[in-house]
Amino acid sequence: MNNLSPSVTYNKRFGYIAFGLLLLVILFSTYLHHFQPEVLRVPSNTDVSTWHNPAFEQTLIYNRMSEAEKQKIRTEGVIDGNNLSVVLFNDVVMILLGLICYLHARRHFGFWMASCFLIGSFVFTGLEESLWILVGRFLGGSITNPIGEVAFGSYWFTKGGLWFIETPVVACIGWFFIAYTCVLTAGKVFPKMNLLGRATAGGLIAMGIDLWMDPIATSPEIMSWVWGKGDFLLIFGIPLYNFMGWFLLIFLFAILWEKLPQMEKTWGRAKATSRFLLICVGGAFCVMTFLFLWLMIVGNLLSLMGIKQAIQIPLGW
């Protein structure tokens, strides 16, 4: 078939390369996570006594557990941590939810825009989360926060079949369809708003959903992810920067994606794609730097105000 338009030919090539590369990274990360866990120092799900930086006692979940729960975790490990059926169920459900959103996006925005949304949001969030996880894992605990507590400033996921670096693929796909639906919702409900307004609304809708999901997912009964201590503003047991991260990632990504057609007009489809993806990768580093600075600034302010321990909004508000 030589009579295909240039954009169709480009789309095909882009699809093969982008999805192929993503698949390779996922396969390699999954192999490392499950079969060579020592390379990225993946914390064990079966023996929590091997956790260090932070140790089990230095995690936020430790403070939320009764003595019986602590003992259970010490003897049996993370709940459902190695339960293949739970992991498989989560992976399959989330991939299906992501797929149906992708079909919707493809119908309304075409293959190129839909694929850029999927791959862009996947890489943007997966990379940002993995950076945060790995920086904390390798460097956390070496500094104290401005209010004098040892800061780990990190977390990790305990469950996942497929992985993108150190973030479960289910989390990356979750980001994709949450971002997509929230931006779509904002556009439908507030059609007269400008781009900044819609991106803000989309970020806030997503953050509203997360305000309940994360306290549940980090509860001792679920333990889908684990936070280290050392953050000074905790909302429902979760560091504030997590919710800021949710808002920022969706807000920034929504703006970037909506600029894509304009970028295509200016630079052409191939250059627009590569620049879009480069901005996604760079954006992950920028968001992380911003959150780090935020932690330092707020921590110093609290310290100046004479606050000596973390401020917590408890679960049973």
Smallest distance from the beta carbon of 150 to other proteins, in angstroms?
Answer: 27
Residues 28-87 binding other proteins (CB under 8 A) are: none
Would you say 67 or 221 has its CB closer to other proteins? 221
Compute the C-alpha angle 170/176/179, nearest 5°: 130
**Residue 197 makes contact with other proteins by CB under 8 A:** no
How far is the C-alpha of 53 from the C-alpha of 59, rounded, in Å?
Answer: 9
Angstrom CA distances, 175 to 94, 121, 123, 129, 144, stand at 10, 7, 10, 11, 31
How far is the C-alpha of 201 from the C-alpha of 205, rounded, in Å?
Answer: 6
**Residue 278 makes contact with other proteins by CB under 8 A:** no
Q: Which of 2, 84, 221, 306 binds other proteins (CB under 8 A)?
A: 221
Q: Which two tokens stand for residue 160?
A: 């996942």
Compute the C-alpha angle 235/239/242, nearest 5°: 105
φ/ψ (deg, to 5) at 168? -60, 140
**Residue 206 makes contact with other proteins by CB under 8 A:** yes
**Residue 93 makes contact with other proteins by CB under 8 A:** yes
Would you say 25 or 211 has its CB closer to other proteins? 211
**Residue 110 makes contact with other proteins by CB under 8 A:** no
Torsion angle, CA of 112/126/35/31, rounded to 10 degrees?
A: 10
How far is the C-alpha of 215 from the C-alpha of 133, rounded, in Å?
Answer: 18
Q: What is the CA radius of gyration of the chain?
A: 21
Q: Which of 10, 51, 111, 236 binds other proteins (CB under 8 A)?
A: 236
**Residue 193 makes contact with other proteins by CB under 8 A:** no
Q: Which of 12, 212, 282, 286 binds other proteins (CB under 8 A)?
A: 212
Would you say 15 or 215 has its CB closer to other proteins? 215
**Residue 306 makes contact with other proteins by CB under 8 A:** no
φ/ψ (deg, to 5) at 15? -60, -50
Place of tokens 């070496």: 142
How far is the C-alpha of 11 from the C-alpha of 273, rounded, in Å?
Answer: 10
What percent of the residues of the chain are helix, what percent strand, and what percent coil, each to the nearest 5? Answer: 65, 10, 25
Q: Which of 22, 101, 151, 284 binds other proteins (CB under 8 A)?
A: 101
Would you say 183 or 279 has its CB closer to other proteins? 183
**Residue 177 makes contact with other proteins by CB under 8 A:** yes
Which range touches other proteins (CB under 8 A), out of 21-29, 128-136, 243-251, 309-317? 309-317
Footprint of other proteins (CB under 8 A): 93, 97-98, 100-101, 103-104, 107, 174, 177-178, 180-182, 184-186, 188-189, 201, 204-206, 208-209, 211-213, 215-217, 219, 221-222, 236, 314-317
